[in-house]
Copies of this chain bind each other. A is one copy, B any other.
Amino acid sequence: MPTEPLLADALGAIARDIDGMFDALLPSQGRLAAAMRHAAIGGGKRLRPLLLTATAAMHGADRTHAMRAAVAIEAIHAYSLVHDDLPCMDDDAMRHGKPSTHIAFGEAMAVLAGDALQSFAFEVLSDPATSGDPFVRAEMVQVLALASGAQGMVGGQVLDIEGEGQALDLPAITRMQQLKTGALLSAAVEMGAVLGKLPAEGRMHLKGYARDIGLAFQIADDLLDHAGDETKAGKALRKDAEAGKQTFVAALGADRAREQARMLVDQAIAHLGSYGQEADLLRAVARYIVERDH
């Protein structure tokens, strides 16, 4: 658990509130609804919701609006894990300490629950309850759709699959991870800024922060996969090396990778130089990313 009280409180609140919001907004009848709920509720660090709501709060946005947008981006993250875990992809039977969605509901239902979670994300974002300003709604859809698709998260997953068993160099691994994980973390921060009506030209430092913590997060993930505790992680570890996946640890070795992650965190915090204590939560998130043990 993080030692900084500000962050510990924020992580606890976001975990509870995101589950409550998913419970209120997801469909509730039938097996498809059950599979979507299995995939979305009760798991994960809720890092994307935390980044989105913290950035929105920094810029004076309404908390309920931000929570709805946070549920949308977390639905995209949740669907990507459901599809990632499928037998034809990473073939993972456990996720967040529970059976993966295809183990619990079958493969066809896992494909469809993932598909429906993606639609759900855009349904929530485009709902007038998420912002009274249609420009804000349309822009959040634009940011999230770009970050999710072929030039974002899915594009990164393809590079990851295509890179298996090949010796990628550091720039290629960085590019793959920037798409696979970084695009959505960056979208979380940008959506918070859109909700706070920060103009596009004012978002550069926030995007720099997101890019740096995205890479630091992935390096920390690689280090945990390399040396972490399966019980805490709630999933099988050391599968990356078995699958011949290209990771920062494989390319740099564990010590240099750890050093690199710390440097990225310092750099991320430096991007927040123009903000005062209203950005303390984003600073704490950056530090937490490399210190967490799962």
Contacts and interface: CB of A to CB of B under 8 A. Distances in A.
A278 interface: no
Interface string A79-90: 110010010110
Nearest to A109: B158
A100 interface: no
Interface in A99-136: 106-109, 111-112, 114-116, 118-120, 122-123, 125-127, 134-135
A284 interface: no
A146 B123 contact: yes
A42 interface: no
Interface string A146-175: 101111101101100110000000000000
Nearest to A136: B134
Contact of A88 (B31, B108, B120, B135): B108
Contacts of A158: 30-32, 109, 112
- The secondary-structure label for the interface of chain A is helix
Nearest to A151: B27
Contact of A134 (B111, B134, B146): B134
Nearest to A148: B119
A134 B127 contact: no
Contacts of A161: 108-109, 112
Contact of A115 (B118, B126, B135): B118
Given A88-B107, A134-B134, A155-B32, A116 B27 contact: no
A164 to B, nearest CB: 10
Given A32-B154, A111-B83, A111-B88, A119 B118 contact: yes
Contacts of A123: 142, 145-146, 149
A116 B162 contact: no
A116 B149 contact: yes
A233 interface: no
Contacts of A127: 142
Contact of A137 (B80, B138, B148): B138
A237 to B, nearest CB: 21
